[in-house]
A and B are shown apart, each in its own frame.
Chain A
Amino acid sequence: MPKRLINLTVNGEAYEVAVEPWWSLLYTVREELGLTGSKEGCGTGDCGACSMLVDGRLVTSCIMLAVEADGCQVTTIEGLATDGNLHPVQQAFVEKGAVQCGYCIPGMVMAAYDLLRRNPNPTLEEVRLGLAGNLCRCTGYAKIYEAVLAAAERMRGD
């Protein structure tokens, strides 16, 4: 079976990629585009480490086929920091000590970024709900939700 040619716009850059029809979006972005910031923690959509945005929707990219993303705008962790400046969500993760081993963090940051776009002023419970699809084994989550609440405050400019 021949590979399929698809078009992806990833972090604002256009790519034409030849993919097997069974390749996941995660695999394609990591192996074909060399963007290794998004992680595979399970390969079955359970842990959230591969979270990215596809046309503005948060997905677990390890269980989305690359061909399904044909023609889509994709944002990965590499697309958040601009001109060497951390996004406020990333800044808060760094300052609040929300990072330990760091493996879940790209997905966690993407989920938090998505949450704060939809809900700029979340309660703690809403943060918990927004990040419930992302597992972390190091932090006990406390510094992660503290970071998300701090980022929300900073982004609102209060």
Chain B
Amino acid sequence: MASARRSLNVVGKPLPRVDAWGKATGRTRYADDLSLPRMLYGRLLLSTQPHALIKRIDVSRALELEGVVAVITGRDVPVRYGIMPVGQDETALAVDKVRYAGEPVAAVAALDEDTAEEALSLIEVEYEPLRPIMSIEEALRLPEPRIHDYVPAGNIHRLASLEFGDVAQGFAEADYVREDLFFFQGNTHLPMEQHSALAYWDPAEGKLTLWSSTQTPHYVQRALAKALELPENRVRVIATPVGGGFGGKSDPFHHEICAAKLSMLTGRPVKITLTREEVFYAHRGRHPELMWVRTGVKRDGRITAMEFQAFLDGGAYSSYGPATTYYAGTFQTITYRIPHYRFQAVRVFTNKPPCGPKRGHGTPQPRYALEVHLDKLAHDLGLDPVELRLRNLTGPNEVTVNWLHITSNGLRQCIERIVEASGWREKRGRLPYGRGIGFAVSAYMCGAGLPIYYNDMPHSEVQVKVDRSGNVTAYSMAIDIGQGSDTVIATVVAEVLGLYPEDIRLVTADTDLTPIDLGSYSSRVTMMVGNAAYEAAMKARQLIFRAAARELGVPVRRLEARDRTVFDRRDPSRALPFAEAARLAEARFGLISTIGSYRPPQRLGTYKGSGVGPSPAYSYSACAVEVQCDPETGEVKVEKVWLAHDIGRPINPILVEGQIEGSVYMALGEVLMEEQAFRKGQHRAPSMLDYKSPTIKEMPPVVSILVETDEPRGPFGAKEVGQGPLLCVIPAVANAVYDALGVRIDETPITPEKVLKALDEKAKGGPGRVGPERKPDFAFREPTRVERPPGWPHYRPHEEG
């Protein structure tokens, strides 16, 4: 790939995204923009209770209302489903019991929205309230009442307990040990688009079609088939352009199944669009997480051992929780060499909307804890926090203590660039009181190495078809959620065939028409779809080159494709327009239709839990944040953010910058203001006005620095950028507040109230800290001992064949 790189034509160029025109003119059709003849409007009735038995539901008055066509309750859709095979604990409507306020209990289809709305008010539900369990501490303390009875005990959903190496030995080698407690508050994706689904059951074909704003059409297809007891090949899911996902549209949802069921019952298309309030209940956002970390170091700052414990508030259902539980402890090791590492986590059920994957899936919380903890350790040791990190970094071509295979690794370059650009050495500890600078690093995967459900098939397949007009179409199930997957596919295919991204027609995200892609989650699309697209396009090019070579009388190896032309590299006057070459190829070989398939490399670890964390490659980030804090009001204003990201190589640098800026923005919201918080069992602020998120006025300038490491497994050397850059921003802000005011806010969000409380406490001679005071009294099971890779950290895996 390196030699091909010299002549790259569209990869790496700041071209406009292929879907920008439609989006800038309002022509792009999102799910709620669709309608079909005789379509009905569906609405969901929500539980008012956080935890209660349903004693009675009476829908008769609703059914009598003129214009109401159908009403369903939990009894009509009783089959359990869930995104993960081990978490089949949801039903489309609550059956016998509600587990959070806002959980759907009935659904209505009516001729118009007004009637559907009115019908909801006519449904009578009688609840027998149960004690709601609203916090991690309550869930651990109270085995009764149980939110689910399928788990072995109490309200404990999942457990993880692993030890790599020998932690006791590691701590015995330490000169200094420090431990800290942190709390990361839950927050939600708040996509601009409210979830929406339009279902149509065609009785003639016996087939269901669902248009939905989903990040995972393949998994929704499977869940619909299960919940509605249909064969999978009778369910077609078409993901519409997603108006913001961030992980929040990665689960199968109630409204999708209810719209489908109502369509099957009425024989008419049914659309359900969630209200903004309902989007807060659909959630699947950031887990509130209490974390304890203890690290042993040598005098010079080298880590000898680390213990990390996490207590996750999962909300009322499983969702991706089994994976999230492991993500609490998996990626600490890809930034730092930790010779002996113990990780333990517990995810509990509470009576709140289910938590799941939000940008960074389960890793922003531990990254926040780890990076603030290391900042404190550096201060204890009298070391520059950057220096402490430099002494512990992982390198390229390394296997971590928990068996994750790092290929390219640009973390050191990221750090060096940030130190330089931000003026770190001149600023840290030297800015006037109230002003401060903070630093942190992070890393993320380029796609989960394992699919959600076990299978040995490819994770991504792309088909490329070249027709006799010279038109090129790429087929892929990838769904553009704003991250730019359409542009990535078009750019990769165009590069290989010597065309431009706008020349490539795309057919995407349709389970009937497109070959598999597992979905837009885990930052997998550029890596996996990009590689599949590259392979498919290369095969098409080979056929076209063979036909052109014969016509031009030159060997295939001398041909090149560029500017819509196929030509002889040695004598560029020997050339054919691409369309002509395509016609010759079709005449000789028949239909030019080629395929590419991608499956991630085998994981190295074989222990239980080793399925979470492996990835073809890891991206790295480092950032510095400068803040101005007002000690009178407690307000923290972010003045500037410098963020360096190891992108491998950018497919499109404008899109890469956009992902960095968007990640910084979302991180600032999480660290300074956003809270999915509850009071008396109810969501405290289920509206865009009350759920505070940053506006354009709060957004500071961001200096984006791209570090290129040419990832050998990435398409054209590329790695992910959608999630990784978010992670380091949150702890960097916390560390900057400390540099500015000398107080530690060990709990997100860092609100003015907490800053003032810490300052007040410090003024009274206290440590000047706000955060959790004690670790819950919970006995983790003895960890499973896992051998370190032999010769760690110098272990090298066998080269791939």
Contact = CB atoms under 8 A, between A and B. Distances in A.
Interface string B265-277: 0000000000110
Contacts of B432: none
Interface in B158-192: 189-192
B5 interface: no
A8 B24 CA distance: 24
Interface string A56-80: 0000000000000000000011101
A138 B658 CA distance: 8
A53 interface: no
Contacts, number: 167
A77 B701 CA distance: 29
B798 interface: no
A116 to B, nearest CB: 15
A80 to B, nearest CB: 7
B693 interface: yes
B87 interface: no
B662 A90 contact: no
Contacts of A139: 658, 661-662, 665
B583 to A, nearest CB: 30
Interface in A104-133: 104-106, 109, 127-129, 131-132
Interface residues of A, number: 53
B243 A103 contact: yes
B33 A36 contact: yes
B20 A46 contact: no
B688 A46 contact: yes
B192 A94 contact: no
A37 B28 CA distance: 8
B688 A93 contact: no
A136 B699 CA distance: 11
B246 interface: yes
A42 B687 contact: yes
Interface string B220-253: 0000000000000000000001111110000000
B24 A86 contact: yes
Given A43-B275, A100-B482, A93 B193 contact: no
B666 interface: yes
Interface string B642-666: 0000000000001101100111111
B482 A138 contact: yes
B27 A37 contact: yes
A86 B193 contact: no
Nearest to B660: A140
B32 interface: yes
Given A77-B25, A100-B484, A139-B658, A93 B20 contact: yes
Contacts of A129: 697
A91 to B, nearest CB: 8
A76 B27 CA distance: 12
B368 to A, nearest CB: 19
B657 to A, nearest CB: 7
Nearest to B701: A142
| Residue in B19, B26, B32 with the greatest tally of chain A CB atoms within 10 Å | B26
Given A100-B658, A102-B243, A140 B26 contact: no
A140 B661 contact: yes
Contacts of B574: none
A41 B688 contact: yes
A81 B658 contact: no
Contact of A135 (B29, B655, B693): B693
A138 B24 contact: no
Contacts of A134: 696
Contacts of B189: 137
A86 B661 contact: no
B500 interface: no
A39 B30 contact: yes
Contacts of A93: 20, 24
Interface in B663-707: 663-666, 687-689, 693, 695-697, 699, 701-702
A139 to B, nearest CB: 5
Contacts of B148: none
B348 to A, nearest CB: 29
B407 interface: no
Interface in A23-60: 30, 35-44, 46-47, 49
Given A94-B21, A103-B30, A47 B696 contact: no
Contacts of A10: none
B428 interface: no
Given A101-B244, A101-B481, A102-B28, A40 B194 contact: yes
B661 A142 contact: yes
A136 B490 CA distance: 25
Contacts of A86: 21, 24-25
B114 interface: yes
A80 B452 CA distance: 44
A95 interface: yes
Given A37-B26, A102-B243, A44 B276 contact: yes
Contact of A143 (B27, B28, B484, B661): B661
Given A140-B699, A143-B658, A109 B24 contact: yes
Nearest to B663: A140
Interface in B186-215: 189-194
A43 B481 CA distance: 22
| Residue in A49, A77, A104, A138 with the greatest tally of chain B CB atoms within 10 Å | A138
A77 B16 CA distance: 20
A44 B665 contact: no
B242 A101 contact: yes
B193 A101 contact: yes
B483 A100 contact: yes
A158 B606 CA distance: 64
A37 B14 CA distance: 27
A35 B655 CA distance: 29
* The 6 A-B residue pairs with the shortest CB-CB distance in the complex, in nearest-first order: A37-B26, A101-B482, A102-B23, A103-B243, A140-B665, A140-B661
18 contacts: A41-B192, A43-B276, A78-B26, A93-B20, A94-B24, A97-B658, A100-B484, A100-B662, A101-B242, A103-B30, A127-B696, A129-B697, A131-B696, A138-B658, A138-B662, A139-B658, A141-B665, A141-B696
Interface of A: 20, 30, 35-44, 46-47, 49, 76-78, 80-81, 86, 90, 93-97, 99-106, 109, 127-129, 131-132, 134-145
